[in-house]
Amino acid sequence: MRNNNLIKAIEKTTKIGGIKISVSLPLLKKIIDKELLLKQQYQLFEKQAREEEYPNIANVFQAFQKGLNIIIRNHKRAIRKEDISEAEHSEKDLKSLVKSTRENIEKSKLDLSAQYIKEYKEAIKKIKNTLTEESYRIEDDVVIYSLQWGQGVKKSHVKVLKLVQKYLKKELKFEPINLDYTNPYVCEVCGHLIFGKPKRLCPVCDNPPEFFDSLENNIKKEPVEQEVS
Ligand SMILES: [Zn+2]
Note down pLDDT in tens along the chain; length 229 residues: 566 776 666 555 677 778 888 888 899 999 999 999 999 999 999 999 999 988 888 999 999 999 999 999 999 999 888 877 777 778 788 888 999 999 999 999 999 998 999 999 999 999 988 888 787 787 888 899 999 999 999 999 999 999 888 888 876 555 544 444 568 899 999 999 998 889 999 999 999 999 999 886 544 444 444 444 4
Max intra-chain CA distance, the chain: 64
With beta carbons less than 8 A apart as the criterion, state whether 190 and 70 touch: yes
User: What's the CATH fold of domain 19-81+97-218?
Assistant: Ferritin (1.20.1260)
C-alpha of residue 216 to centroid of ligand 1, in Å: 18
- Kindly list the distances between the CA atom of residue 223 and the CA atoms of 32, 61, 226, in Å, as whole numbers in the listed order: 16, 17, 8
Residue 212 bridge partners (DSSP): 187
pTM of the model: 0.83
> How close is the Cα of 166 to the center of ligand 1, in Å?
25
CA of 149 to the centre of ligand 1 (A): 8
Give which of 79, 56, 93, 29 is closest to 215, Cα–Cα: 56
For residue 218, the CA-to-ligand 1 centroid distance in Å is 16
Domain ranges of the chain: 19-81+97-218
Which is nearest to 158 in space by CA: 105, 104, 222? 105
Determine the distance separating the centroid of ligand 1 and the alpha carbon of 195, expressed in angstroms. 14
Spatial separation of the C-alpha atoms in residues 211 and 203, rounded to whole Å: 12
CB-CB contact of 156 with 195 (8 Å): no
